[in-house]
Amino acid sequence: MDSSKDYSKLCIHTITTKPWSLAEAVDNYAMAGVKGITVWQNSVPDKNFEAAGKLIRSHGLEIISYCRGGFFTEPDAEKRAHAIEDNKKMIAEAAALGAPILVLVCGSSPTQSMEDSRTQIKEGIEALLPIAENAGVKLAIEPLHPMYADNRSAINTLGQANDMAEYFNSKWVGVAVDVYHLWWDPDLEKEIARCGGNDNLLAYHICDWKIPTTDLLLDRGLMGEGCIPLQKIKNWVASAGFDGYHEVEIFSNHYWQMDQGAFLKKIMEAYDEHCL
């Protein structure tokens, strides 16, 4: 890669290059000059998180986050308790990996009200908080686009995530800002400033919104090929005091079918052109 480019804040989610094993991803990211990696649970199939952490660090990569906990909502109390146990395991996995943050996709259950789901999310985070603090792993509430309100998240705006984070008022709970979910929100600038001002802005995820979008889940775009105002949002995030990594998180059947080396090259070009 061109050494004149600044990739010092570029992080890639392992799921972005899903066809690669963790070892392949780490090798290729490091060779290309990527500095950060966010690890998805399914990229460590042998569950040896300590070894995965060592492998990543030995290639000079920094681990930014671990994805993804949450899914706290469930009408059945026993199943809710089970979800909390799963999240405790994920906090331990994050700690073993050496990831400072666990990202939470909070959950939503269509057979109950959104209000009930939101209450259960609060209860879930409450139960995890001492575990997270003890493990030294921060919990990042990620608001999801309203098109995922049915069964993925009942937290659909940054305003809601900020409310939740401020309710806990703990350095161990904050929010993750993903442009894909939030770009349309007329309150976005204000809410980014709010979470930055409260030291709750833990993570920043980038990709793009394609026109047309042909699949609700697996048709995210590469930065620059859609309509998200990436420069504007990047500036809002910087103005809010965030100086962490810019994490490329793209779920895309289209890109997963490509040669992943060529895709990585495209990611780095797109990052250079649209995100710096």
Residues in the site for a second copy, rule: CB under 8 A? 110-111, 113-114, 118, 145-147, 149-151, 156-157, 160, 183-186, 209, 211-214, 216, 226-227, 229, 232
Q: How far is the CB of 78 from a second copy (least distance, A)?
A: 22
Q: Is residue 125 within 8 Å of residue 119, measured between CB atoms?
A: no
Residue number, 172 or 183, with CB nearest to a second copy: 183
Q: Is residue 217 within 8 Å of residue 249, measured between CB atoms?
A: no
Other C-beta atoms lying within 10 Å of the C-beta of residue 193? 16
The Cα–Cα gap between 39 and 52 comes to 9
Residue number, 4 or 214, with CB nearest to a second copy: 214
What residues have CB less than 8 Å from 139, skipping those under 6 apart? 69, 101, 102, 104, 125, 128, 129, 132, 172, 173, 174
Residue number, 84 or 141, with CB nearest to a second copy: 141
- Which residues are 101's β-sheet partners? 138
Residue number, 138 or 145, with CB nearest to a second copy: 145
Residue number, 62 or 189, with CB nearest to a second copy: 189
Q: How far is the CB of 192 from a second copy (least distance, A)?
A: 15
Q: How far is the CB of 180 from a second copy (least distance, A)?
A: 11
Q: How far is the CB of 84 from a second copy (least distance, A)?
A: 23
CA dist 232 → 4, 7, 92, 137, 229 (Å): 23, 19, 36, 30, 5
What residues have CB less than 8 Å from 169, skipping those under 6 apart? none
Residue number, 46 or 115, with CB nearest to a second copy: 115
Q: How far is the CB of 198 from a second copy (least distance, A)?
A: 19
Residue number, 120 or 260, with CB nearest to a second copy: 120
Please report how many Cα atoms fall inside a 13 Å half-sphere around the Cα of residue 249, on the Cβ side.
Answer: 24
Q: How far is the CB of 231 from a second copy (least distance, A)?
A: 11
The Cα–Cα gap between 23 and 27 comes to 6
- Using alpha carbons only, how large is the chain's radius of gyration in Å? 18
Q: How far is the CB of 156 from a second copy (least distance, A)?
A: 6
The Cα–Cα gap between 22 and 222 comes to 21
